[in-house]
């Protein structure tokens, strides 16, 4: 009840194909788990944190121009 050489080769080719695809799937799974772990560890803001955001910008106040902006040091650089 021995197997012929062709049947043995077909079985080995089938096993090799299966192992190669399982290894490829394992590599893909590892890469996806790594990305998932990095995304979880990144601590992105959650929707509940958006409730604390101030939506109104404070009114801008114009500041008087400092007298040093028109002083001798500035006028020397403008020449």
Contacts of 68 (CB under 8 A, 6+ apart): 74
Q: What is the mean pLDDT of the chain?
A: 76
Q: What distance in Å separates the CA atoms of residue 13 and residue 7, rounded to the nearest whole number?
A: 10
Residue 6 has pLDDT above 90, yes or no: no
The 8-class DSSP code of residue 48 comes to G
Identify the CA nearest to 69 among candidates 61, 60, 77: 77
pLDDT of 1 higher than 90: no
- Residues for the chain: how many in total? 79
Tell me: pLDDT of 3 over 60.
yes
**How far is the CA of 20 from the CAs of 8, 12, 32, 33, 73, in angstroms?**
18, 12, 19, 20, 74
pTM check: above 0.85: no
Averaged over 21-33, what is the pLDDT?
95
Residue-range domain boundaries for the chain: 1-44
């Amino acid at each position: 009840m021995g197997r012929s050489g062709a049947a043995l080769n077909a079985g080995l080719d089938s096993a090799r194909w299966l192992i190669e695809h399982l290894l490829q799937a394992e590599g893909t799974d590892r890469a996806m788990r790594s990305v998932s772990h990095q995304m979880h560890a990144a601590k992105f803001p959650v929707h509940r944190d958006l409730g604390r955001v101030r939506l109104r910008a404070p009114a801008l106040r114009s500041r008087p121009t400092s007298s040093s902006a028109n002083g001798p040091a500035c006028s020397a650089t403008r020449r």
